[in-house]
């Protein structure tokens, strides 16, 4: 947050994929420090793949990405399906995991940490939910809890993958206010979204991909009928007989 240039996330001819088949092809560009960017595109466009690479859980097939190296403080909220909601853990304990960088595997959760947890739950509208078991929460409440955890991670870069799938409008509005607040604090935020109304209402910048980059820039410039039509025309299937890509870097 001190030096905007060096804090930007740069993508250099980045190709990501699985088993050598690209899911994101030759992506070049930069997420500026402190920017709030929506990543949009059809299913299978490579949006989640891009976030995985930024979060460091997927290695690029080629090209590179550079993330501000001083202490990679990245918070990543994947699609909610990855969490085991049958595990008997309380809301407070789940949110407390956001303090991992502070507590580590063995450190104690101090009294001021408990206050921070309470404050985070308050911010997402779940004050008093500390002792609830996560299995008893509704889908919207669960997403609020995960945003509270995200908040405690206090990260400079926040990656959110489809946070509002099957979430009601009220919750979306509440959580987007929180995202806007984080944006105001100078954090860099990338969110994968499908709701174009939310994108144009809250996000200044937008990246549209459909396995290939379609458009990247101001949201109003990206969300044009021409771009949307191009994204829709994307070919989703891999070509099993595809040749090696020779496109120059």
From 94, 126, 157, 192, residue interacting with other proteins (rule: CB under 8 A): 94
Q: What angle do CA 10, 13, 14 make, to 5 degrees?
A: 75
Site membership for other proteins, residue 93 (CB under 8 A):
yes
The pattern of x and - marking residues 130 through 149 that bind other proteins according to CB under 8 A reads: ---xx---------------
CB of 76 to other proteins, least distance (A): 5
Measured from the CB atom, the residue of 56 and 186 that comes closer to other proteins is 56
Site membership for other proteins, residue 212 (CB under 8 A):
no
From 100, 122, 170, 232, residue interacting with other proteins (rule: CB under 8 A): 100
Site membership for other proteins, residue 246 (CB under 8 A):
no
The pattern of x and - marking residues 34 through 73 that bind other proteins according to CB under 8 A reads: ---------------------xxx----------------
Measured from the CB atom, the residue of 62 and 90 that comes closer to other proteins is 90
CB of 136 to other proteins, least distance (A): 9
Site for other proteins in 101-130 (CB under 8 A): 101, 103-106
Measured on CA atoms in the order 134, 135, 136, 141, is the torsion positive or negative? positive
Across 54-69, b (16+ Cβ under 10 Å) vs e yields bbeebebbbbebebbe
Query: Which span (35-43, 93-101, 166-174, 204-212) binds other proteins, by CB under 8 A?
Result: 93-101
Residues touching other proteins: how many (CB under 8 A)? 27
User: How far apart (Å, rounded) are the C-alpha atoms in residues 100 and 107?
Assistant: 9
Site membership for other proteins, residue 88 (CB under 8 A):
yes
CB of 82 to other proteins, least distance (A): 5
Measured from the CB atom, the residue of 157 and 231 that comes closer to other proteins is 157
Binding site for other proteins (CB under 8 A): 55-57, 74-76, 78, 82-84, 86-90, 93-94, 97, 100-101, 103-106, 133-134, 153
């Amino acid at each position: 947050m001190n030096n905007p240039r060096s804090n930007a996330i740069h993508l250099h001819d980045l190709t990501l994929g699985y088993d050598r088949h690209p899911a994101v092809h030759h992506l070049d560009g930069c997420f500026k420090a402190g920017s709030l960017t929506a990543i949009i595109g059809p299913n299978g466009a490579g949006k989640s793949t891009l976030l995985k690479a930024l979060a460091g859980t997927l290695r690029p097939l080629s090209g590179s990405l550079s993330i501000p190296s001083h202490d990679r403080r990245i918070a990543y909220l994947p699609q909610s399906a990855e969490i085991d909601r049958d595990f008997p853990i309380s809301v407070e304990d789940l949110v407390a995991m956001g303090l991992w960088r502070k507590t580590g595997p063995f450190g104690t959760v101090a009294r001021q940490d408990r206050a921070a947890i309470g404050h985070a739950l308050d911010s997402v509208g779940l004050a008093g939910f500390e002792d609830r078991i996560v299995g008893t929460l509704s889908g919207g409440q669960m997403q609020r809890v995960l945003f509270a955890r995200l908040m405690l991670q206090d990260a400079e870069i926040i990656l959110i993958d489809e946070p509002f799938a099957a979430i009601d409008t009220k919750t979306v509005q509440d959580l987007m206010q929180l995202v806007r607040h984080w944006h105001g604090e100078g954090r860099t935020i990338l969110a994968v979204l499908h709701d174009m109304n939310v994108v144009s209402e809250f996000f200044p910048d937008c990246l549209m991909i459909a396995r290939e980059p379609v458009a990247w820039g101001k949201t109003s410039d990206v969300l044009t009928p021409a771009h949307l039509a191009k994204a829709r025309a994307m070919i989703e299937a891999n070509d099993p007989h595809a040749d090696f890509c020779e496109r120059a870097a």
